[in-house]
Amino acid sequence: MNTDEAGRKKCVVRACATVFYYWVTWAPLTRGSAATGYAVMYGLLLACGYTIQRGPPNGIQADWEAILRSKSNDFVKRICNVWLLRPNVLVKEGLEKRTANTATTDELLELKKVPNVMNTITTLRQMLEVLNVQEIEDEKRSK
């Protein structure tokens, strides 16, 4: 990984961790708010082309790390040092070999082959149809 890629990765991870921090600290402390924060962080990283290969290390709960820190920068620094920017935690989607326990490169979703949503769904009706796919499939099965 060259320095430009490493710098981009660090910026992306720090931005995603910051979103997680604000979600967890501003969201109501109800059942599921931290899980939603994790899902959002994982989704943001995926959208930027990175997959997380390993969860937080034993003894680290990112939501509590965020809740117990008063500044986002303190949280981001901590969580990046102990988890997200450690070697072999994040993999650039489709570019590096996976371990035997994970998907092979042939099984990866190649983002270049995925159709562009703006070009595929062009009308409000198509948007609503996409959002209601499950209902449409259920109707077809019941007939």
Domains of the chain, residue spans: 3-110
What per-residue confidence (pLDDT) applies to 119?
86
Q: Please tell me the predicted confidence (pLDDT) of residue 43.
A: 92
Q: Does pLDDT of 27 surpass 50?
A: yes
* Region for residue 129 given its phi and psi (left: phi exceeds 0; alpha: psi -120 to 50; beta: otherwise): alpha
Q: Categorize the per-residue pLDDT at 59 as very low, low, confident or very high, splitting at 50, 70 and 90.
A: very high
Distance CA 85, CA 88 (A): 8
- The mean per-residue pLDDT over the stretch 83-112 comes to 67
Q: Is the pLDDT of residue 84 over 60?
A: yes
| 3-state DSSP assignment of residue 90 | strand
| Strand positions, DSSP E, the chain | 50-52, 90-92
What pLDDT, on a 0 to 100 scale, did the predictor assign at position 39? 92
With 0-12 / 13-18 / 19 or more C-beta atoms within 10 angstroms meaning exposed / middle / buried, residue 97 is exposed
Closest CA to 33 of 42, 45, 23: 23
Please state the φ and ψ torsions of residue 135, each to the nearest 5 degrees. Answer: -65, -40
What average pLDDT is seen over the chain?
82
Q: Is 90 exposed, middle or buried (0-12, 13-18, 19+ CB in 10 A)?
A: buried
- Whether 108 shows a pLDDT value over 80: the answer reads no
For residues 73 and 123, give the distance between their C-alpha atoms in angstroms, rounded to a whole number.
42
